[in-house]
Amino acid sequence: MEDFLFAFLNWDIVTQAWPILWRGFAYTLALSAMTVPLGLAGGVALALLATSGPWWVRLLAAGWTDFFRAIPPLVLLVFLYAGLPFAGIDVGAWGAVALGFLLNTGSYYGEVLRAGIESVPRGQMEAARSTGLTRGQALAHVVLPQAVRNVLPDLVSNTLEVVKLTSIASVVALPELLFQARQAQNATYNATPIVAAAIAYFLLLWPLVRLVSRLENRAMAGR
Amino acid sequence: MDGLNNFIFSFFNLKVMAQYLPLVAQGLALTVVLALLIVVCGLALGLLLAVLRSFGIRPLNWLIIFTVDVFRALPPLVIIVLLFFGLPAAGMSVSGFAATWLSLTLVLMAFAEEIFWAGITAVPKGQWEAARSTGLTFLQTLRMVVLPQALRITIPPLTNRTIAITKGTALGSVVGVAEILGAAQSAMSFSANPSPLTLGAIAYLVLFVPVVALGRWIETRFAWKR
């Protein structure tokens, strides 16, 4: 028991590793603040193309979405970070993460938002247009708000997944929480920093998990 | 023209691809085995937890909810790293394969429990009452009346979640599992050419595009009526 506590829940190690872990935590927050809006922007663009473009644009958007939903995000990230430099394009760790998340989470958000837009009855768009709103206005003020409301549980749950996914940035040596915890573990020969990082992730994301759970149960029960 | 040649030499180098095709194919086989193990164990455990939860034993349910929340909140890579690099400190060491399998199984278990449970609670109370009043026991009601209805509405969210978690097998490359990405990365460093990575991406597409398309079809077929 004492060995277990020493190896996994060692307070001395936590105080030693604190500055390193704290920096990682800040990086994780910064990464999330960058990737969520990027993914959302990509998703809105994809969803609009997939629902209102000409047939070949819709087909392209669907193919694009399926392509990036089939490739594991880590594969995409490694390709952008380690593969592209061979062709003389070096986007760096931040660039690879930004681009990878734009492509990957953009496709996930796009798929959710597409379902949302399709759930809004056609008559809403027609009624809005007939009152004199332009297409863009009708989308922004009438269709999208209803679409977002209809798929809110999926949107929030996807956002939770994006924040969790920032942990793969550790693979390209961005000093986010998991990477910093590994560094601290190597420096101290003790597993406590990783346990501390896991606890930090849990405390950060537990409220979001509870929220998703409530929204999902409500959506299922409302059927 | 030079740029294009350079691009083809880097990413679509047929000579390199042919040389490392067997390695990536082995990775593909390993990914399939790992994915199947995760799907079977994760879904079975998730269903088991959801059924246990339906007995309504308070302390047990709190434990189930907490466990599920933990594995929904933690990034899978963090769990894998914790098992692989952490456990040796306690004198237990696990292989990268076992760490990846166990982590993703637990994550899928958590998500599946939540979805199965939502499905069970979505079945109207009257169904329970009617079934019980015909003389069925609690378990018979669950098995023959409630679960068949619950499973039907859980299929679309479950398919999507299962696909997303199965793709996490690529995370195994971080702890040295020679699945597709792991194999492609070693091939890339042997050959100093990223073409094996292209090969790996193609392997994932071959594996997952049909599944993603199937998921999309199922989603429209069993569409949730809102």
> Cβ contacts (< 8 Å) between A194 and chain B: which residues?
78, 81-82, 85-86
How high is the pLDDT of residue B226?
41
* Three state DSSP letters for A87-156: HCCCCHHHHHHHHHHHHHHHHHHHHHHHHHHHHCCHHHHHHHHHCCCCHHHHHHHHHHHHHHHHCHHHHH
Instruction: Tell me the nearest-neighbour CA distance from A158 into chain B, angstroms.
Output: 11
Contact A201 B73 (CB under 8 A): yes
The answer, for A156 touching chain B at a CB cutoff of 8 Å, is: no
> What's the fold here for domain A2-221?
MetI-like fold (1.10.3720)
How high is the pLDDT of residue A221?
65
Q: Indicate whether this complex's ipTM tops 0.85.
A: yes
How high is the pLDDT of residue A93?
92
If one counts the domains in chain B, the total is 1
Q: What part of A 92-111 touches B (C-beta under 8 Å)?
A: none
Instruction: Tell me the nearest-neighbour CA distance from A25 into chain B, angstroms.
Output: 14
Instruction: Tell me the nearest-neighbour CA distance from B170 into chain A, angstroms.
Output: 7
How high is the pLDDT of residue B91?
79
Contact B77 A167 (CB under 8 A): yes
Query: Is the separation of the CB atoms in B182 and B95 below 8 Å?
Result: no
Taking alpha carbons only, the member of A103, A107, A113 closest to residue A66 is: A107
Query: Is the separation of the CB atoms in B102 and B94 below 8 Å?
Result: yes
pLDDT at A220 over 70: no
Q: What part of A 21-60 touches B (C-beta under 8 Å)?
A: none
The amino acid that residue A145 corresponds to is P
CB-based burial, B3-17: b 16+ in 10 Å, e otherwise:
eeeeeebbbebeebb
Could you tell me which chain A residue has the CA closest to the CA of B224? A223
What string of DSSP letters covers B58-78? HHHHHHHHHHHHHHHHS-HHH
Q: Considering only the C-alpha atoms of chain A, give the largest distance between any 2 of them, rounded to a whole number of Å.
A: 74
Contact A83 B205 (CB under 8 A): no
Q: Exposed (0-12), middle (13-18) or buried (19+): which is A19, by Cβ within 10 Å?
A: exposed
pLDDT at A165 over 90: yes
Instruction: Tell me the nearest-neighbour CA distance from B126 into chain A, angstroms.
Output: 14
Instruction: Tell me the nearest-neighbour CA distance from A36 into chain B, angstroms.
Output: 16
User: For residues A185, A190, A191 and A192, what is the CA-based torsion angle, rounded to 10 degrees?
Assistant: -90
Residue B215 covered by a domain: yes
| pLDDT mean over A29-51 | 94
The answer, for A119 touching chain B at a CB cutoff of 8 Å, is: yes
How high is the pLDDT of residue B151?
87
Q: What is the mean pLDDT of chain A?
A: 90
Contact A86 B205 (CB under 8 A): no
Query: Is the separation of the CB atoms in A51 and A117 below 8 Å?
Result: yes
Contact A7 B90 (CB under 8 A): yes
Reported as a pLDDT band with limits 50, 70 and 90, residue B2 is confident
Take residue A137 and report the two structure tokens written for it.
């206005």
Query: Is the separation of the CB atoms in B116 and B47 below 8 Å?
Result: yes
Could you tell me which chain B residue has the CA closest to the CA of A4? B90
The answer, for A186 touching chain B at a CB cutoff of 8 Å, is: no
Residue B11 covered by a domain: no
Take residue A32 and report the two structure tokens written for it.
């999330």
Of the given ranges (A87-96, B5-14, B168-177), which has the lowest mean pLDDT? B5-14
Contact A201 B224 (CB under 8 A): no
Residue B1 covered by a domain: no
pLDDT at A7 over 80: no
Full-model pTM: 0.89
Task: End-to-end CA distance of chain A: give it in Å, rounded.
Answer: 49
How high is the pLDDT of residue A205?
95
> Cβ contacts (< 8 Å) between A78 and chain B: which residues?
181, 185, 197
- Supply the range of the domain harboring residue B194: 23-221
Q: Which residues contact B163 (CB under 8 A, 6 or more apart)?
A: A69, B208, B211, B212, B215
Residue B41 covered by a domain: yes
How do residues B138-160 score in pLDDT, each as one tens digit?
Answer: 999 999 999 998 888 888 888 88
Residue B93 covered by a domain: yes
Angle at B39 between CA B38 and CA B44, to 5 degrees: 100
Query: CATH code at B187?
Result: 1.10.3720.10
Residue B18 covered by a domain: no
Residue B108 covered by a domain: yes
Contact A202 B89 (CB under 8 A): no
Query: Is the separation of the CB atoms in A112 and A51 below 8 Å?
Result: no
Q: Considering only the C-alpha atoms of chain B, give the largest distance between any 2 of them, rounded to a whole number of Å.
A: 79
How do residues B204-222 score in pLDDT, each as one tens digit?
Answer: 999 988 888 888 788 777 7
Distance between CA atoms of residues B26 and A195, nearest Å: 34
Reported as a pLDDT band with limits 50, 70 and 90, residue A177 is very high
Contact A220 B6 (CB under 8 A): no
Q: What is the mean pLDDT of chain B?
A: 90
How do residues A88-132 score in pLDDT, each as one tens digit?
Answer: 888 899 999 999 999 999 999 999 999 999 999 989 999 999 999
Of the given ranges (A32-41, A214-223, B56-65, B89-98), which has the lowest mean pLDDT? A214-223
Size of interface A-B (CB pairs under 8 A): 159
Hey, which of A1-5, A52-56, A186-190, B108-112 has the most confident mean pLDDT? B108-112
Instruction: Tell me the nearest-neighbour CA distance from A217 into chain B, angstroms.
Output: 6
Could you tell me which chain A residue has the CA closest to the CA of B76? A164
Of the given ranges (A44-58, B15-29, B150-164), which has the lowest mean pLDDT? B150-164
